[in-house]
Amino acid sequence: MELSAGLKLSQSGRSSIFQLKKSSNCFRSIYVPSTGYREELVRCKEELEHILDRHIDRCADHAFIKGRNCPTNAEMHLGKQYVLSLDIQDFFDSITRDSLNDLLSEDLMFWVLEDGAPRQGLPTSPLVANIAMIEVDRRIHQLCDAFGDVSFSRYADDITIGFQEPSLRTILQQGVETILGSRGLTLNKQKTRLQNVRNGSIHITGVAIDHQRVRPTRKTMRRIRAAKHQQNTAQIAGLTEWAKCKFPRLTDPARVLEDLESSRTEGNATGRIKKTASRKRDAGRNDSGSIDNASGHKASVNSDGACPSSKDRLAYIKSTAVPAKSVLEQLREDLRQESLKRNTGGGPVRS
């Protein structure tokens, strides 16, 4: 990125605005807070962290949460044949006061919003963005759960959904668009991408996955070889460390165990869970030896006591699942009711 010559102040006068040129020849506005304003924002961070911590089990983000990173984000989709990658257009700049009214006080919003949004460059913006996305993440989780074996994670503005049946692609994308639209967010269609593991490894937020593990991409390995050829020691060190695909160090064992258990029982994106086929079969067994699907139905075990194959289980889930059209219609109705309820400040709204 290149820094443009233009420099101006925000409307409040608390920040300087720089324009960074992106590879797409567009410009990104970076807000640099003044010394006094930065000190105030640092004080606000503690309160924002407490607010987000109360909803951490519903937050699907892996970018700005302790104990999560790019490998944990990619690991959520191990074992999936198809992975749909979606990008939220102008993520930080599209988050408005309306998305935060129910979660942040007016005094807090006065400090953390510049020119009406949590701008890039402010130390509080990642926290504010995650708080604004709490309800969005919850809705997308519900959408994915309605179709059974569907995984979901988010890395800032990058949404990733993994599934087994290609026919789910359209309905899942439409559902995500509907949910984002209810909060004034849109998808960048140019960055939408569907990957199939049969065509090779799947790339998610800079790392690759196959059926069993998270590993560095070929591009990373090529860059390491090029850096060695150029004898660029700094670049060699950085790329080599990135290629290790390290998971973050988790310093609170009690919290880690709690998050892992929450992820297993509630199907949210907290914690690191290896989603191999064998672990899914173990987690899916109930006391009677049968498997529960997302709709609450039970699939019998085979005559030899073994679990049905993934193909058999998927066929059973499809035969008992709610039609995709009904799920999308119910989602739209729920969002309509929620929007009207917010606008009227009352109870349920009659059609």
Q: Tell me, what amino acid is at 104? A: L
Taking Cα atoms as reference points, which of 60, 71, 80, 90 lies closest to residue 204?
71
**Residues with Cβ within 8 Å of residue 335, at least 6 apart in sequence:** 139, 178, 179, 182
Residues 126-157 pLDDT 10s: 999 999 999 999 999 999 999 989 999 999 99
- What share of the chain has pLDDT > 90, as a percent? 58
pLDDT(278) > 70: no
pLDDT(280) > 70: no
Collapsing DSSP to helix, strand or coil, 132 comes out as helix
pLDDT given for residue 57 in this prediction: 82
pLDDT given for residue 66 in this prediction: 87
Please give the mean pLDDT across all residues of the chain: 79
Residue 326 token pair: 């009904």
Taking Cα atoms as reference points, which of 153, 157, 150 lies closest to residue 93?
157
pLDDT given for residue 324 in this prediction: 60
Phi, psi (rounded to 5 degrees) for 83: -130, 125
Taking Cα atoms as reference points, which of 303, 304, 254, 263 lies closest to residue 283?
263
pLDDT given for residue 338 in this prediction: 72
pLDDT given for residue 21 in this prediction: 80
Cβ distance 263 to 152 under 8 Å?
no
Residue scoring higher pLDDT (345 or 197): 197
Residue scoring higher pLDDT (26 or 79): 79
pLDDT(283) > 80: no
Average pLDDT over residues 259-280: 43
* Count of CA atoms in the C-beta half-sphere (13 A) of 314: 14
Report in angstroms the alpha-carbon separations of 251 from 271, 316, 335: 13, 41, 38
pLDDT(233) > 70: yes
pLDDT given for residue 26 in this prediction: 80
pLDDT given for residue 336 in this prediction: 72
pLDDT(295) > 50: no
pLDDT(284) > 90: no
pLDDT given for residue 346 in this prediction: 52
Which residues face 151 on adjacent strands? 162
Residues 24-74 pLDDT 10s: 678 889 999 999 999 999 999 999 999 999 888 888 999 999 889 999 999
pLDDT given for residue 181 in this prediction: 94
Average pLDDT over residues 296-318: 43
